[in-house]
Amino acid sequence: MAAVDDDGALRTKLKRIYNNPPTGTDAPVVSYSIEVAAKDDFDIERLRSLAPQPIFCSLPWISDDNLRYADDFLRSPTLRLAGELRRSRYTVVSHVSCYNITEHQIDKLFTTADIRNVFVIRGDTVNPAQTFQNSAGLVAYLRKREQSENRQLTVGVGGYPYGHHQSPTEADELRYLREKIDHGVDFLLTQTLYDAGSFFRYRDRCRSAGISVPVVPGIYVPHSYRHLQAMLAITRIELDPAVRAAFEAHADDEPEQFEAFAVEYFVGVVRELLEPNVARSSDPVRWVHFFTFNKFGLLEKVLQQLGDYFR
């Protein structure tokens, strides 16, 4: 198949999701997106078998991996997979990290890879001498670049319901988040969630701070207790004691048992996130993002049990 022109495709999808209110007594139809990784276990046929299909696939930026190919970004595994997905008619959101990247590299990346949808992150650390010290600065640069090229970007950034480890206070975190949003962000995607209450409280704080863009819950279904622990270490999230106890009770499960528990647990979390939709919430959750780690079998099980929402 020929490559898809992604210019405006995601923006059009988001307008359809958020600007078409339900009629009658129907609850809003919920869409979903997924994050996939350019790893050997990625199987595009498993992706094609998902029903319904995701509104986009996002591809993470892993440390310096992409910058190793700065002489020819299209050689990087992430961008090669992005090309494969686009040729298969998928809308792609490419992550871009501030981590050690220069203005020249940003310009080259967006020109050669023809990126139209981007998720901007700061990354684990930055060089004090580099131009982009934070994601707000990178968003501002991309919007300025967009105007000069007459090209429309759809831009997302991350949010932290459990708090960011580098933020002195919650107020500081929200002030910085508002700065990012004001530079021209289309949606806010949360870090991995482990309970619905944390999402609702976070969204309320965002709304109180004047942030009106869609706040999208990010869901990660771990395939093992060990992988859960690794993810918590990477994201520096401290679980609520009751949530932690629920997972610890399954720490020694066989793989199939743990996966069954994880699917049941996160189906419950997503149902709690979407239940207000049935009561016609004034701020319904219209879109959920799944961090898959290419475990499409787990995602299939979640979607099957939530078929009354995802259509």
What is the torsional sign of CA 15, 19, 25, 27? positive
Structure tokens at 107: 């310009």
At 220, give phi and psi (nearest 5°): -125, 120
Question: Tens of pLDDT along 16-41?
Answer: 888 876 665 566 689 999 999 999 99
- Domain definitions of the chain by residue range: 27-306
Confidence band (pLDDT; 50, 70, 90) for 271? very high
Going by C-alpha positions, the residue among 136, 17, 117, 103 that lies closest to residue 59 is 117
Residue 277 has pLDDT above 70, yes or no: yes
Quick one: what percent of the chain has pLDDT higher than 90? 58
- The answer for residues whose C-beta is within 8 angstroms of residue 190's C-beta and 6 or more apart is 158, 159, 160, 161, 199, 202, 215, 216, 217, 218
CATH C-level class of 27-306: alpha beta
Give the amino acid at 304: Q
What distance in Å separates the CA atoms of residue 99 and residue 232, rounded to the nearest whole number?
21
pLDDT in tens, 111-133: 888 889 999 987 666 667 677 87
The pTM of the full predicted model, rounded to 2 decimals, is: 0.92
Of 155-169, 222-236, 255-269, which range is least confident? 155-169
pLDDT one-digit tens code per residue, 49-82: 999 999 999 998 765 667 777 778 888 889 999 9
Residue range 170-193, pLDDT digits in tens:
888 899 899 999 999 999 999 999
DSSP three-state, residue 71: coil
C-alpha dist (Å) from residue 173 to 186, 203, 216, 274: 19, 13, 18, 26
